[in-house]
Each structure stands twice: as C-alpha cells, then as structure tokens.
Structure 1
Amino acid sequence: MPHISRKGSIMPQSPIRKLVPFAEAAKKNGTKVFHLNIGQPDINTPQVALDAVKNNTIKVLSYARSEGSDEYRTKLANYYAKNDIHVNANNIVATTGGSEALLFTIGSITDPGDEIIIPEPFYANYNGFSTASGVTVVPVISKIENNFALPAIEDFEKLITSKTKAILICNPGNPTGYLYSKEEIEKLKQIVLKHDLFLIADEVYREFTYDGVKHNSIMSLDGLEQNAIMIDSVSKRYSMCGARIGCIVSKNEEFISTAIKFAQARLSPPTYALLASEAALETPQIYFDEVIEEYQDRRNTLISELQKIEGVKVANPKGAFYCVAELPVADTDKFSQWLLEDFNHNNETIMVAPASGFYSTEGEGKNQVRIAYVLNKTDLIRSVEILKIALKQYNK
C-alpha cells in the first residue's frame, strides 16, 4: 500500500474544526449548539459588497490578474493611508484569503528546516502552514497571568539561531485578543534589525480595538521597510469570511517579486470575490463604529459572566473578538468533546475550541479554551450559564 508523506502525517488538525462531527451529531439529536468555537461573525456583510456581485454585468468570468488588479490594489493602498500605512499598489499582492498570504510569505522567505519564532498561543494554522512548508515553529510562551503580553525580548534572543528567518505576530491576536503596544512593536523592530530577520504581522483584526486603544501596524515604523511583511484579509473586517480574499503588503521589492511567482503558479484569486472586496472599500465609517461598539459590549458581557464562575480565569482582550479562558478541568480537548457528545442543558450546549491546538509546546494550554464572542449578548449569557452548569456536572 502506498504511503502518504511524513509532512502529511504530522499535519495538525484544526482545533477549531476537528469537533465539527460531534457538533453535527448533537444537532441531529435535537440539541441546539451555541458556536463559540469559530471566528465567524454574525454581523451583516456591507450591502455595497453584496450588490457589486449581484448587479455586475460580467459576460465572461475570466481569470483575474495574479497579484490583483491595479485598481483594487490602488484603492487598498488608499484605505491603508487612512490607517497611517503608506504603501502603493506595487507593495501589495492579492491572495486567496489571509491563509494563502501566509503560505506565500513562508514559501518566499524560508527553506525546509528553517525556523520562525512565534509568541504562543497563536493562530492554529500557523502550525499547519509551517508544517506544509517544512519549517519549524519555535514558540516563545506568553502567559494568561499578564494577559498574554509580548514575552521579554531576552526570551526571543535566546531562541534565535542561524536557521531563524522571521518573527511572526498576530496583532490584535487570535486566539488571545491581545493588542500589542507601540513600545512592544518597537522592541520587535530592534530585534529583527539586529539579527537581520523578517517581522511578519498578521493584522486582519486591525479594525477591532477597544477601550480607545489604537492599533499599531509594523508598516507604520520607519527603518523597517526591508524587514516588515503585513498579512491582511477582508474576512473579518467586512464579515466576508467566504470571499477568501487577503493580501501581502511589503516595501521589500525582492520579497514582493518572489511572492508574485507563487501567485502566478496558482493563477489568480477569485474574480467575483475581488469584485466584492473592491466594493467593500467604499463601506462608510459608521459601519465600523457600530460593529466595534457591538463587539465591545459583547466582550464586556462575556468577560463579566465568565468571571462569575468559580475556578475560571480569563484574559481581558483589547482587540479582535476572542478570549482565552482557563477552566478547572485537566483536559479541555476531552471536556469540549464531552460537551457535544454527552451533555446538554434543556437541549442546549456549547462548542468551544480547545486551546492546546493554539500551542506548539507539548502540554501547554491543556486547561484552556478559546471563546469567540461572535454571538449576540443574550446568547453569550446563556452560553456561559451552560458552561457553568457543565463544569459542575463534569467535575462530579
């Protein structure tokens, strides 16, 4: 019998999606499942984006340009300028989602056996993308006790080797919701310049910051032009996860020309989705103001409800729409599956993402879960009530 690759064998499962069969089985048995496991917003997509697809007059659905049209990338550059990110169309490559942007980036700057340092917990697919490229993730652990702030620079320094090619951050963070300060970004700038590394920032949640705190992009830093690579996407900003349009942004010309070769090899991003994404750039500011107010209310509701449960510790996120909670159980993988397979309260249960899948350090995050506050406040309150009842029953 032919063998699959070692790479395929060690490819990690998604902690977000691996429990889906159990959720589907619960639903078939008549149990309502509150989905706290995935960052799929319930916010309406801007109508201007939907109308662009609905009302178009395309006769032939042809290939798009590999890096996205000049018009789209120019409009995107204008959007960035409003966020103190000054780039032009030639600094941007449109991709099929932020996922492909990360794959192209890793492919462009690493060879098999190279290393990327990432503060953990981190977006689970960073593990998958690195595995697919034969690259080793070197984790530097951040702690729930200090809200998952940037680890000490000394912790990064001692991990840098001749194989280190980049430091990768998510800002604001998935799964933690942590928002890096300007001082923390400056510290990362100094270390990548000192060791001649790339600094990759996944900034897909840029719009979602709370308590009046401002997002600081690596693309706004002087002196980092040859080292900074930004990953972006329309998925969360415009509640357009299904569009699958992202981009890479960098002022490093050699890097961009290399990424374009990867883009050419996969031909092009989807034409209809590019059409919708270009139209979405016309979304008025009031849309974001209302969405951010809604998410801040949801965050406040979720955190305050979780803090009422004895034995639960929760970080307070300043951005994105996730939080990490530490639960009084030994193994949240087993607990999360039990919630779907063996538990319900009045025919209702919850689905959460076990946090161990957001770590690459063996044994870390086993008592943590990621919760996405993408449900309305009534459903969030009910979800936390279910969690409280479930924990009592499980720990008996």
Structure 2
Amino acid sequence: MQLLKLVAEQIQIGAPLPFNVRDASGGLLLACGQIVISPAQLASLLTRGMYADAEELRALKAGSRVAAEPPPLAARWSQAVWSIDAMLKTMPDALRFMGSCDEAASEVIALALQDGDLAIYHAVRQENLQLRQYGLTHSLYVATLCLMVSRRLGWPEERQRKAVKAALTMNASIIELQGVYAISGVRLTQSQRELMRQHPEDAYRRLRAAGIQDEEWLQAVAQHHEQVGGKGYPKGQREVVELAQLLRLADVFLAKISARVNRPALDIKTAVRQVYEQAPGNAMVASLVKEFGMYPPGELLRLANGDLAVVIRRGASLQCPLVMALANAKGQINANPVRLDTSKREYAVVAVESDKSMLARMPSERLYGLYGMHGLDSLNPTH
C-alpha cells in the first residue's frame, strides 16, 4: 500500500469521507463514509498524521467509488470522543440533544460490551497526545467505568444507561477548560476556579433547559462533587444520591490515574488504595477495585524472565493477568509482541514499571487485533 499524506483541504467537515483515512503505518483511523465532526477533530487528525491509499485516490479521480472498510474498535473509540463533543454542542437544541445523547450513550455501551478489557486499557493508557481533548476523553472513560461498576452492582440496564448519560453530561460547562488546564498546567484564574466550582449546577441548568426531566439524572449531575457528610462542593450537602456517588467515584479515580503536563499519573495500586481507604466498606468502591484488579489492562509489568510486558486481559485471578511481551530482558523490542500467561512461574509478575513511554508507540490494534478478542461476556462480573 502506497500512502499519501493528507492536508486539511482534502477533508470536508460534516460530509461523509470519500476514502479511508489512515495513520502513517496504514492503520485505519476513519472508514470511508464516516464523518469528521468538527474542526477540533480535524486538527487532532492532522497532528497525529493522516494518510490515504494512493490507489483509492486514483480510483476516486477515475470516477470509481471506494469500498468502505468496517471501522476497527480503535477507530470507533476515537470517533466516540468526537461524538460526545458534537452531542454536548447540541444542548441548546433540546430535540437534537435528546437524539444525539441517546446515540452517544449507545455507542459507549456497545464499545464497552464488545471488549471491556480494551475499554480499561484506553482509560489506563491515557496518551499525552489526548491532553487537549482531556475533558472529552475523561467523560468517555468515566461513563465506561460507571457502566462497568453499575453492571457489577446488578443495576437494571435502564439505570446503567442513565449512569452513562449522566457521566457524559456532568462536565458540560467545563469541557474546554479541562483541556486547557490539562495541557498547560498553569494555575487557574479566580474566575476559572469559580467556574470549576459551580460547574455541577451549571450542567444541571443546561440539562434542564435541554428538556431533561429525569430527576435522578439531574440530581446526580448537580451532586457529583458532593460527599456524604458534607465535605464536597458546591453546596456541602450531607446526603448525596447514589448515582452521584458513583459519578464522583469514577471521576476521582480516573483523574488520579490521568497524567497532566505538570504532574505524572498516580500509579494504579496507589489510586486503588486511596479510594478504598476512603470508604473500605462501600459496595461501589469494592466493585471498582474488583473491576480493575491488581494489574488492569494498560499496566506495564516486569516479568520473572526479565521481559517487559503490557497487560491486555484481566486473568482468572487478580494476580495473574494475560500480557503481551514488548521487549526482552536486554531491552530488545519484540517486532511481534508475544502473548504470555503470568500464572506460569517463568512469566510471573515481579514489578510494575512506572515509565510507560513505550506504549505510546504501540497501537492498541497490535495488541488486541482490529476488532478485539472478547464478545459480550468481556464485562461479565466474574473477574
């Protein structure tokens, strides 16, 4: 395949793509027929580098149509981020918002159900390239984790879906500010701090104006930074609805394990311990801890044989995940990552590696395949 680098003028925002858009290695970023939703998405694609197959471009010029490839999971995860962006921008139009919110929630649920391990991998990996879109990616991962925990708790499907929608909309008024802060790390101004403090109520008002009448959803958004006992904000409420407690738990935990320009991500073990110590008998916290396990997908490990490996699947036990070996004990990179089972003594986990820079060069498709390896049972609470 001969790849030609694309420029902004070759992409029409809001119109179906006439060709498949690929990365520098030929991996599919957007399938023919998919839509670049916004200038921000286009800018992100240009930063990453986008290419097209020269043969497809010649076929288009000759008047032929390009066959669309089914989008791989990685491309669908990327597109989901921009669907959330588009959905939030429809809030002033109640009719459009209702439909786009349903569509965004359905796609998040479908992605997580298709491969729960890949969902956790994306949340743990948190590429620095995504910092500018931190507000959007954070909403996506919080929604995914809320789905996982609520499933483990046995909530009805309709309530699970409500949790996803609440997570996708709880930061509606500060999405851009979250991205600015994540990428700059500069101290917020007084007005920005006040905007942060008031954003739960701002989001509540926006949702109410957009026609949302579900009181549990609305109260969850309004209270998602409150804490039982009165130590939260913006009102210091002592009683907090259950759904708001779930939102806050997922929000705080994922913020802890997400890097910023001015601070590294907290390691998973420490983040898990911190949320557990705050509420050791809480069923939600216990469910989150069980969902992530000791070594969640995306964690980088050193094995007994010296290999450096990344977790791709939670194993039958918390201590024994399935991994892909990326490099040997001498630091030599594996051209083709090797799948290993850490329940075997020679591949046992001996340490967690803090430097995850190697993962930035490892597309998730090389670890999981184009379409993932699990079906609907990947979120079955049996881990």
More strand by share: 1
Higher relative contact order by CA 8 Å / sep ≥ 6: 1 or 2?
1
TM-score normalised by length of structure 2: 0.28
TM-score normalised by length of structure 1: 0.28
